[in-house]
Structures are given as structure tokens and as C-alpha cells.
A and B are shown apart, each in its own frame.
Chain A
């Protein structure tokens, strides 16, 4: 089983709507998690770090559920510019496949 798993999607979301997706992890030793945004053929860029139960930054909210071993990312009021792949990573340097988000006009 992969250490970090994500449903690659795509997640098609109308502009202005809310989209949420999860990242599950198998190693309970994972202490902290990170969401990265990766545009096509570009490098991943750190979006948000989660060291405790969650984090919020503007339209983006991350929630960590240690009991069920998943971390979620929610994007409110989706913009066309939010279209990207969102990678989940842990402090053990592992990444999931990413959740591809396509915001539709």
C-alpha cells in the first residue's frame, strides 16, 4: 500500500463553487502534512502546511483527521486560476499522485 494516496480525479468544479478532496495515509508515524499545488509541467509549490488539526488560508482550508488517517483540502469560491493538481505530502517526504482540479467557467 502506498504511504500517501489520493484519487487523481479529475475533479470538475463550476467557477464559484466549493470543491473538497482527501488524501489518505497509511503510516501513523506521519506527523505533519503538506499540500502543494502543481501546474502542468511546472514544479510543485507549497500551498499549506498542517502540523495539528488543520489550517486555513483565505479560500483554502485543510483538515487533518488522525483517527481515520486522512487529510482534506477544501477550496471555496473556486477561481479559474485554481485549476491545477494538488499534491499531498507528509513529513516522511512521500507524495500522493495528486488531485487534479479543473474549474469550469
Chain B
């Protein structure tokens, strides 16, 4: 069983909707990440939070808005998305003091934008 929990597992939304993806980790990690993955492509880094502060934002469109309420929770707010944003959104965490790279992923939220 994964110790990084993502909800919802599946989400279908229209281009005018506002929705949120949620992620919670139970490992005491201090770094959390959002990745986007399309079919047969590698995961692409979107955001990094380290010690609850946004430390990396890979020039993601503003229709994606991350939020880190505390060290174990990470949300991704979605608004006015496009059909090309349909993908698997993966949350991950790592022990920040060991440096990034050894990532533990949630099962992902599969998003379809109509």
C-alpha cells in the first residue's frame, strides 16, 4: 500500500469547471511534488514544495495553482483547463534532507478535460 494518498483517482471536468486534486503523505517527508504524465511519456515536473514553501515552479500555466497547507498535504487547484491538460497527475514526496530524487509516488489522479 502506498503511503502517499491521492484523491480523486479519476476526474472528468469541463473547461469552465474549478476542481482540486488532493495529496497526503504519511511518511514525515518535508518535500512534496506534482508531476504530470501523458501516455508513453515520462513524468514532467510541475511544482516542488520544500518545507511547505514553493521552491520550484517549472513555468506551469496559471490555470494550475498549487497549495501546501502543511508538510503532509499538497493540493493542486484546477481552473479553466484545456483538453490537452488531460493526463495522469502524480504527487510524490521525499526526505528533503537527503536531497531530491528518491521519490515516493501516489497512485495518481487521472484527469480528463472535455
Residues of chain A at the chain B interface (Cβ within 8 Å): 4, 8, 31-34, 36, 41-46, 49, 87, 89-98
Residues of chain B at the chain A interface (Cβ within 8 Å): 2, 33, 40-43, 45, 48, 56, 88, 90, 99-108, 110
In the bound complex, CA of A46 to CA of B4 (Å): 13
Instruction: Using A43-B90, A44-B43, A87-B42 as known contacts, say yes or no to A93 and B105 having CB atoms under 8 A apart.
Output: no
Known: A4-B42, A41-B88, A93-B48. 12 other contacts (CB 8 A): A42-B108, A43-B90, A43-B106, A44-B90, A44-B103, A46-B102, A46-B103, A49-B101, A49-B102, A90-B101, A91-B101, A96-B42
In the bound complex, CA of A103 to CA of B105 (Å): 25
In the bound complex, CA of A32 to CA of B110 (Å): 30
User: What chain A residues lie within 8 Å of B45 (beta carbons)?
Assistant: 93-94
Q: In the complex, are the beta carbons of A43 and B105 less than 8 A apart?
A: yes
Q: In the complex, are the beta carbons of A93 and B42 less than 8 A apart?
A: no
User: What chain A residues lie within 8 Å of B110 (beta carbons)?
Assistant: 41
23 A-B pairs within 8 Å (CB atoms) are namely A8-B40, A31-B99, A32-B99, A42-B108, A43-B2, A43-B105, A43-B106, A43-B108, A44-B43, A44-B105, A46-B103, A87-B43, A92-B101, A93-B48, A93-B56, A94-B45, A95-B42, A95-B43, A96-B42, A97-B40, A97-B41, A97-B42, A98-B42
Select B104's contact among A46, A92, A97, A98, beta carbons within 8 Å.
A46
Q: In the complex, are the beta carbons of B33 and A93 less than 8 A apart?
A: yes
In the bound complex, CA of A32 to CA of B99 (Å): 10
Select B101's contact among A87, A93, A98, beta carbons within 8 Å.
A93
